[in-house]
Amino acid sequence: MKNIKKNIAIAVACVCAVMGQVTAQEKRPHIEIRGIYGGVPVELLAEGKTLEDHGINGVFMGSGGLTAERIALLKKHGAKVFAEFNSMHVAGYLKEHPDAAPVGVDGKVCPPPQRWQGVCPTHLGYRKYRMDAFRKVLGDFEIDGIWLDYHHSHASWERAVPDMPDTCFCDRCIAEFEQETQTDLPDETSPELARLLLGKHKDEWVQWRCDVFTDWVREFRAIIDQTRPKALLGTFHCPWTDAEYEGALRNKLAIDLKAQAKYVDVFSIMPYHARFGHHTDPSWISRQTEWLGHYLSIKGEPGERHKIWPIVQLSDWGESVPVDQVRAVLDHGTRRPATGVMIFAWGSLRRQMEKVDEMSAFYQAIAP
Ligand SMILES: [Zn+2]
């Protein structure tokens, strides 16, 4: 009798253990992309292994790092290849074109906040320079999609305490604002006009700046439609809600997600929990993603026009991400409305293979 009880106890314990494992490693067929960001993970291909062996089916890399050979290698492994494209942060452009530097509320060139250099969004030469580069990437490489990066104003927000000066009050921006919104501004100095634009005319000013940035997205979309229409247009964007930092998403960064949704296929929200002051709380990742889903009416159901694929932080940046937190980060990053995920970033993770092993185990476990 004693033995029977003992056997039953052992059996129950085994069932629980198995169920525990099932719960911890449930399949997540709604996740179509299990990706890595930051280059070709050649280290994972040693000893005849494939990307599929690691559960990886998508690789995101800087458009400057694309080569036909790299793309062929990744495709041979069944992975989709996505390019990252720097829209508003090519600082080197200003060396030869100082008139493209953003102007601050004092009417002078605004120093880069935390050394993060943006560009005036109405500088036609810069815009053409980026559009030509975008077209060339799509024409030259058989990519499955291209993701805008840094598509926001001259502001350093990728930190626990953001630094977001008001810009751009150059003569060109002010003249375009006046003309396009049919606002009569007095014949005043730039600092006085900046004061009016951030005061009496703030709503129109904020909307106009958002519209300028959205119009860039419209043109990027048109180029995709002309050159590689099957490629997805994604954007890596600030993970704040519309209310955080007093509405800075629109007011400061000039990101109008609802307006951009007309042109964007995939929203890659960037909830870098350790970098942005949430290093002990990976559930912040799924809370921000859930907010985005509500805001843009994306549920994570098959066949939806828009998708949310968060990029989640496994690298040590700001605070470190411990090995035993990797699965929690990926768990929160792969909850609906997310239908894809990628990890940030291969460049440093390749030297932290214990975290890569955790990622790989999770990806394999959730793969259908
Ligand atoms: Zn300007």
- Domain edges within the chain: 30-366
187-205 tens-digit pLDDT: 999 999 999 999 999 999 9
- State if pTM tops 0.85: yes
Question: Ligand 1 centroid vs 12 CA: distance in angstroms?
Answer: 68
Produce one character per residue of 55-76: b if its CB has 16 or more CB atoms within 10 Å, e if not: bbbbbbbebeebeeebbebbee
- What is the distance between the alpha carbons of residues 50 and 37, in angstroms, rounded to a whole number? 17
Question: Ligand 1 centroid vs 235 CA: distance in angstroms?
Answer: 23
- Residue 158 CA: distances (Å) to CA of 57, 68, 80: 27, 32, 27
Check residue 43 and give its pLDDT: 96
Question: Ligand 1 centroid vs 119 CA: distance in angstroms?
Answer: 8
- What is the distance between the alpha carbons of residues 212 and 209, in angstroms, rounded to a whole number? 5
CB 155 within 8 Å of CB 92: no
Instruction: List, edge to edge, every strand of the sheet that includes 340-344.
Output: 307-308, 266-269, 232-237, 145-149, 80-86, 58-62, 33-37, 340-344, 311-313
Question: Ligand 1 centroid vs 198 CA: distance in angstroms?
Answer: 15
Residue 301 pLDDT exceeds 70? yes
CA atoms within 13 A on the CB side of 327: 12
Question: Ligand 1 centroid vs 93 CA: distance in angstroms?
Answer: 15
As a dihedral over the C-alpha atoms of residue 154, residue 157, residue 163, residue 164, rounded to 10 degrees, the angle is 40
**Strand pairing partners for 156?**
163
Question: Ligand 1 centroid vs 338 CA: distance in angstroms?
Answer: 36
Question: Ligand 1 centroid vs 193 CA: distance in angstroms?
Answer: 13
CB 300 within 8 Å of CB 340: no
- Residue 183 CA: distances (Å) to CA of 66, 179, 199: 45, 7, 14
Q: Which range has the worst mean pLDDT, 1-10, 212-221, 278-287? A: 1-10
More confident residue, 3 or 31: 31
Question: Ligand 1 centroid vs 65 CA: distance in angstroms?
Answer: 30
Which overall architecture, per CATH, does domain 30-366 show? Answer: Alpha-Beta Barrel (3.20)
Check residue 25 and give its pLDDT: 67
Mean pLDDT of the chain, nearest integer: 94
- What is the distance between the alpha carbons of residues 214 and 255, in angstroms, rounded to a whole number? 8
Run of H or E including 313? strand 311-313
Query: Which residue do the tokens 């704040």 mark?
Result: 240
Question: Ligand 1 centroid vs 154 CA: distance in angstroms?
Answer: 10
Question: Ligand 1 centroid vs 264 CA: distance in angstroms?
Answer: 25
